[in-house]
Amino acid sequence: MKVLIALALLSLAALANAAARKPLPARYDHFKVYRTFIEDDEQLVEFKKVHHTIEIHILHDIQGPNRSYDVIVGPLFQHAFERILEDLEVDYKIIVEDLQELLDSSAYDEDADMDWETYHPLDKIYDWVDEQCDAHDFLECKVIGHSYEGRPIKSVRLSKREGNKAIFIEGNIHAMEWISSATVTYILNQLINSDNAGMQRLSEEYDWIVVPMVNPDGFVYTHEVERLWRKNRRPNGYANATGPCYGIDMNRNFDFHWSGAGWNIEDPCDHWFGGDEPNTEREILALQDFVSSFDDGYIRSYMAFHAYGQYVLLPYGHSTTEFPPNYDQMMRIAAAFADGAEDAYGSEFTYGASGLLNYPVSGAAKDWAYGVKNIPFTCTVELRDKGTFGFFLPSNQITEVGVEVTEGLKSLVDKAADEGIFD
C-alpha cells in the first residue's frame, strides 16, 4: 500500500511539474498599438535602433522611408517610446488603446461547431476538413507531410471532371494571420457545399487544391502561448539574452532569390529570419514536394493568402525593377479580382508586383511557384484590412472577407480563362 501511495504521489508531482512548465498564454492588457510614419532615411536609421533600448514589437518588415509602421508597446515603455518618437520628430498616432480588449473580442469557444463567424483552433479546422473528405467522393484528401512538432499538414483536392486544370490555394504560412485559414476554409466550403451557380461552375470546370494550414505548430502556439507569433516552431540553433531562438519565417525560406532582400532576415531571433539557407523547413519541403507531385502544366494558378493590407501581390518580391515576362497579363487578372472583390462591400484591393508595391522581400512562395514551377499566374492576396485592426481583425468580419474574396475569385478565374491561363 505504501508503495502505491508513493507512486501516486510521484505521479501527482509529475503532473504538477508538467503543468508548471507549460507556459501561460501571453496577455496584452493596456498594451497600445502605435502607427508611426517615417519620413526620411535619417528617421529610419534611428527608428531601427529603438528595439535595442526598449521592449517593442514591430509588426512589419522595415524597408524604407515614407512608410507607416505599426508598433506594439507595453505600459512600462509607452512613455519612453513616445519621447523617442517626439525627439526624432516622428509623427504617430495610437490606433489600439488596449490590445487585450481587441483580442478578447475575437475569443472563441472550443466546443462551438465549425463556422465562419469566429476563429477556430487547429483541431476544429482539421475535424471539419476530415468530415468534408468523408462526405464527398469528389474530394481527395492527403497528409502531405508533418510539421517539426509532428502535426499533420493536410490537403484537399477537389476534382469533379477529368481534364480540368487546377488552382492551388494555401493558407496560414504565418501563424498569427488567423484570417488566412478562416478565408481559405470559407472558400473551400463554398466550392464544396454552396448552391450558388457561380461557385458550382467553378467547382465543375476547375480542380482546386487547398492546403489550409501550412504552419500548424505556429498556429497552435498563437492559440496557446503567444498570439503575436509569426514563424514555425523549430529551434533554429541560435540564442539571445532571453534564451534559445525558435522558428523560421517560412515565406522567406523558398529557394528563389533567397535572402536577396528584406529587413532582419539574417537575425535568427527576429520575426522575419529566413534561415541560414533556403529549403530548410520540413513544412516548406512538404509543400514543395506536393506541388511538384503533379504533372507539369496541371496547376495554372497558385494563390497564397495572408494578412493584411488588401493587396494582390504579384511576382517578383526581390526586385523593384525586374518583372515577369507576362506581367501585363497578370496585372489584368489581378485587376479582375480587385473589381470583383470591391463589388461585394466596397473593399479596395491594390495590385502589382510585391517588390514595387509593398516592399522588397525574397524567398516567398508565390515567387517560387512562378520562377521555379513555371505556374503562369501566382500571387499573394493580403486580406482585410488596411490597418484599423491589422493582424487582429475581429471575427465578426470573417464572413464578409470570405464573401468578397469569393467574388474576387470568380472574376479572377474568368479573366484568367479569357487570358488563356488554363489552356
Strand, coil or helix: what is 351? strand
Class of residue 3 by CB neighbours under 10 A (exposed 0-12, middle 13-18, buried 19+): exposed
Q: Measure the CA–CA gap between 51 and 360, rounded to whole angstroms.
A: 22
DSSP letter assigned to residue 152: E
Strand, coil or helix: what is 235? strand
Question: What are 292's three cell numbers?
Answer: 511538384
Q: Which residue, chain included where needed, has cell 497552435?
A: 220
State the CB neighbour count (10 A cutoff) for residue 131.
11
Closest to 341 (Cα-Cα) out of 390, 395, 384: 384
List Cα–Cα distances, 57 to 52, 81, 155, 262, 268, in angstroms. 11, 12, 33, 17, 16
Q: Measure the CA–CA gap between 290 and 377, rounded to whole angstroms.
A: 18
Annotation says 382 is catalytic: yes
Q: How many residues does the chain have?
A: 423
* 166, 153 Cβ separation under 8 angstroms: no
Closest to 334 (Cα-Cα) out of 419, 398, 422: 419
Q: Measure the CA–CA gap between 117 and 115, rounded to whole angstroms.
A: 6
3-state helix, strand, coil split of the chain in percent (to 5) is 40, 20, 40
DSSP count for the chain of H helices, then E strands? 13, 14
Question: What are 180's three cell numbers?
Answer: 488566412
Task: Enumerate the β-bridge partners of residue 382.
Answer: 306, 311
* 71, 57 Cβ separation under 8 angstroms: yes
CA angle 220, 224, 228 (to 5 degrees): 80
The residue from 170, 281, 382, 407 that is catalytic is: 382
State the CB neighbour count (10 A cutoff) for residue 266.
13
Q: How many CA atoms lie within 13 A of 206 on its CB side?
A: 27
Region of 32 please: left (phi>0), alpha (psi -120 to 50) or beta: beta
Q: Measure the CA–CA gap between 332 and 343, rounded to whole angstroms.
A: 17
Catalytic residues: 382
